[in-house]
Amino acid sequence: MTKEQEKHLAQIVEAVTLRILAKYRRGQAEHGGNLWDRPSLPELHQEITDLNTYVITLDYQLRVCDEKLARAVQILSAAVDDKSFQVGLRLVKEVWTDLHRQLA
C-alpha cells in the first residue's frame, strides 16, 4: 500500500478504536456487569434497526445536499466572470462532483 493509503488506514483504526473505547465505557457506566454475560442478540437486533434508520436518513440528507449543490452550480455557471468567483465556482463543482460520485 502507498504511504497515503497507510495513513488513511491508520486514521480509520484510530477513529474506530476511540469510538469503541468511549462507547464501551459509557455502556459499562450505564449497565454495569460483564458484557459477555448479557444476551447480545436482542441488543444487536435493536442496533441493526437503528443503523438502518441512520443510513437511510443520511442517504436522504446527502441527496438533498446533492440537489442543492447541483442547482448552485447551475446558477453560478450562468452568473459572473470574476476570477475569484470562478475559483469559488470550481470548488463548488468539485464538492458536488465528489458528493455525486458517492451517491451513484
Secondary structure string (H, E, C) spanning 27-93: HHHHHCCCHHHCCCHHHHHHHHHHHHHHHHHHHHHHHHHHHHHHHHHHHHHCCCCCHHHHHHHHHHH
- Does the predicted TM-score (pTM) go above 0.85? no
Ranges in the chain, pLDDT < 50:
none
Q: What is the pLDDT of residue 34?
A: 95
pLDDT at site 93? 87
**What local confidence, expressed as pLDDT, does residue 100 receive?**
84
